[in-house]
Amino acid sequence: MTNTSKFSMVFPVYNEQENLEILFSQVKTAADSTTRPWEAIFIDDCSSDNSLEVIRALARQHPEVRYVAFEENRGQSVAFCAGFDCADSDIIVTMDADLQNDPSDIPAMLSAFDNGCDMVVGWRAKRKDTFWKRIASRVGNKVRNWFTDDGIHDTGCSLKIMRRDMLMNVPRFKNMHRFFPILMKMQGAVIHEVVVNHRERHAGTSKYGNWQRAKQGLYDLIGVRWLMTRHVSYTVKEKN
C-alpha cells in the first residue's frame, strides 16, 4: 500500500441520529487532512429512530458518503461485513458511530499502517467509560488473551485499520468483530497497536450490558478457540 491509496471507513449504525452529523463533520476533517481519496460507508442496522434519514441527507450532500440500509436488525458484525463487501478500496477503517472514537486518530493510524502493517488496532489507554464497564473490559481482555494469546491490549476498540483482501478471507459469524485481531493473525497479518483518544458518549445509549456481553463473549471465545485449533494453511514450494 502507498500513502496515496484510497481508504474506506465503515460505520455500523443503530439509533445514532443525534451523533451522525457531528461524526461525519469530524471524519471529513480528519480524512481530508490525509490528502488521500476516501469514502464513508454507513450501514444502518434497521434503526428505529431517524438515523437512516440523516444518512440519506449526508449522502445527498457529500459524494464521499455511501450507505446500506438493512431490512431487519442483524447486529454489528453483519453490518461490518456489509461495509467490507461494498467498499471501493483496499484499506478498511472501522469505527463506531457513537462519537467515543476520535476520528482525528485516523491519520496517525494510517501512517502506522503504511509502515509495513496489515492491521492497526486502536488502544484506548485512558477510557471514558463507567467504572463497571472499565472493569468488565479489563477482565474480558484478560480472559480473551488467555484463550487466544493474540497479544492485543484492547481488541474491543472499534477503531481499526485492516487490509481488505485479508479481511475478506476471515470466517464470518455473529460477534466476529470482537475477534478481528486473532482472525487476521490466522491469515498471517502483521499487527501494530496505536494509543488513541477515547471520549464520553455524546448522545444515545450503549447497546450492550456487561452481563449480556460476558455471556456472549464466553460462548464466542470457545468457538474462536475451536477455529484456531482447526485452522489450516500451506506454503507452495513449486507450481506448474
Q: How far is CA 213 from the centre of its chain?
A: 17
- 23-27, 48-52, 130-134: which has the minimum mean pLDDT? 130-134
Residue appearing with cell numbers 457531528: 22
Q: How far apart are CA 21 and CA 213, in angstroms?
A: 28
CB burial string 163-189: b at 16+ within 10 A, e below:
bbebbeebeeeebbbbbbbbbbbbbeb
pLDDT at residue 134 in the model: 60
State residue 226 phi and psi, 5-degree precision: -60, -45
Split at pLDDT 50, 70, 90, the class of 223 is: confident
pLDDT at site 219:
65
**Alpha carbon of 61 to those of 21, 30, 55, 57: distances in Å?**
11, 18, 10, 6
Report how far residue 120's alpha carbon sits from residue 60's, in angstroms, rounded to the nearest whole number.
31
What pLDDT, in 10s, does the model give residues 149-172?
677 888 889 999 999 999 999 999
What fold characterizes domain 7-230?
Spore Coat Polysaccharide Biosynthesis Protein SpsA; Chain A (3.90.550)
Residue 9's CB is within 10 A of a number of other CB atoms, namely 25
Per-residue confidence band for 222, with pLDDT thresholds at 50, 70 and 90: confident
**Which of the pair, 137 or 24, is modelled with greater confidence?**
24
In this prediction, residues 60-83 reach a mean pLDDT of 97
